[in-house]
Structure 1
């Protein structure tokens, strides 16, 4: 991976959020690329339950300040950054008072999904892409972890399809079992269509459950990694029928060589 540029976009990541399958691999995979001589950038949402003082987050003024349009609303984009101790790794945080200030990640105290999770996902996808454009950093690979990041492949290929910075970028999506129960806002498809994305391009979002979001991400990726030992039958069948490179499940204890080989031989070749 020497000198290859890999952009990691994650819903959640240790040490900023509790340890689970997504947050652990979202941390370990960039650490692996970093250790093997690659250049990395990491983005995640700045959820309100991330302790800014403990993790020493600070705003990057030169990257903040633009407004992103989500469903005809102007939403200010704030960029913060922190460094992971001992790893020489920086993490960029996508922030917005309306979407991310609340002291929780995806659901309220009763376990109900936030009704604007669909808009948060749209804002996150656009925020990452616009910030990478400001950094003028063209990634060789963009690796997506977690459902809050799942719209990134769709937006890169359709909304930002003419953006030269990403013309050579390859997208990899890791598909996990961990998702959510029920569906996101039933108006999600119309909000995506507001950005000029056609019905057929995002048809799965008519019923925006977890499997649907993963199907959309897989459709617009150049390769897929099965990141959990078990997926739903629907997702397993869908992935097995994809006509693109798929890496089968590897545990967190054995993923490094397999991911490295997948990047080099299946995605970049």
Structure 2
């Protein structure tokens, strides 16, 4: 079976978030199960020089984008045993950042056309085109409408994976009609139309052969008005085609025994984990005390991640015997809130604004607990990484957090973390304090950490489900 992933980012080439981790790790797990996997990405200027220097140009072509004919190079490189194809156009992709430009619709419409035009240049067409998030949502639409009559294209099946329904690629009808050179018939309720505009996310939801999202619970949530981001009706109509498959993590990349960013590699050693904590305390200027419980957060600083709850809880939380370490960047209001909280809490709180992969790993490894009070969470990878690093998650009961963190039951000794339901400051503080109380009871804490260590958070079981999905499509 030949599967081609189309995505806007993938590790280890380029990353802004969890999408890159998934698109980087899942193909390796699929390859171990005998699937022939290729990943196609834009060739960003941010791709490392080592990888960019290794690429080989396969072909050069022109892509029709509305009334424009644009240059497109197709380049190839193999990384960690996976074949990557890079769509090269420096005007669209050689910029300072991956996203955030005024011509996002044009950039990813170009990418979508380029992926489909490129298929003609390959020796063998894929059986499955697996598209990820709104940046590739136009591909299933174009395949079913513009490219349906090309030889071999009709046999290609598509999967569209929703990583975060909140980001939808919504643009004016006029702009998308210009870019796609399409008429009013493409902007109806059962096509791209979305409240007077057009939605790339809806294109994927309507035209892909199968849909998936990144946890079972999120697949149920997005069919409701509360979580459906005005697309719940579309998703309910396609519920029979929707699979909820929880993400995994690359357990070779995220391994505290081999992680080069850690001062003290470890597996199940509590003493080595405490040594990492004291090293991080020194690094961040916190009082050095291995017995103080440390709570870590590595996150985008957005409302989705529950930072309004964290901000409201901070005054009470800072009265506890605890240290809070946060790494992230995002909304200016949240950054301002954290900056304002720092001066009076230097002995209990440290914040690094921006992103630093090495520091992120050290926070996972050094923290005793990991806090994720998300308003919604399609899957979440941070709680899986935390568990891999023997750090106990404290999460809100939503999306993939429900599917991956089992609440601790002190009577049965089962559970891997602590959870709360209502998105309130009271429930967050109650749950954090409950976790702190068990931290002070060594037998309970050892049991919780041991329970988490026994879980498998790799990609094997998820890859098996994706293979089942692919087989249904091609049979």
In the superposition, the TM-score normalised over structure 2's length comes to 0.49
Which of 44, 50, 54 pairs up with 1:47? 44
1:1-269 correspondence runs (5 A): 4-18=1-15, 20-51=17-48, 53-58=49-54, 60-64=56-60, 66-84=61-79, 87-107=80-100, 114-177=101-164, 180=167, 183-184=170-171, 187-195=174-182, 198-200=186-188, 201-204=191-194, 206-208=196-198, 212-227=199-214, 229=218, 231=222, 232-233=227-228, 234-242=230-238, 244-252=240-248, 253=457, 254-264=461-471, 266-269=472-475
Matches of 2:463 and 2:53 in 1, distance apart? 29
Q: Does the 8 Å contact 1:11/1:147 carry over to 2?
A: no
Matches of 1:35 and 1:57 in 2, distance apart? 27
Matches of 2:117 and 2:82 in 1, distance apart? 21
List alignment gaps of at least 5 residues for structure 2.
249-456
Matches of 1:57 and 1:82 in 2, distance apart? 9
Matches of 1:115 and 1:16 in 2, distance apart? 24
Q: Does the 8 Å contact 2:205/2:234 carry over to 1?
A: no
Q: Does the 8 Å contact 1:58/1:80 carry over to 2?
A: no
Matches of 2:34 and 2:169 in 1, distance apart? 41
| RMSD (Å) for aligned C-alpha atoms | 2.5
Matches of 2:176 and 2:124 in 1, distance apart? 30
Q: Of the two structures, which has the highest relative contact order with CA contacts closer than 8 Å and spacing of 6 or more?
A: 1
Q: Does the 8 Å contact 2:77/2:84 carry over to 1?
A: yes
Q: Does the 8 Å contact 2:55/2:77 carry over to 1?
A: no
1:200-245 Cα deviation digits (max 9, x unpaired): 343239424xxx3222112111100012546532344432321652
In the superposition, the TM-score normalised over structure 1's length comes to 0.83
Size of the aligned set, in residue pairs, is: 252
SS of residue matched to 2:204:
helix
Change in Cα spacing, 1:118 to 1:82, as seen in structure 2 (3 Å) is: same
212-221 or 252-261, which deviates more: 252-261
Matches of 1:35 and 1:165 in 2, distance apart? 27
Matches of 2:84 and 2:239 in 1, distance apart? 33
Structure of higher CA gyration radius? 2
CA shift at 1:194, angstroms? 1.2
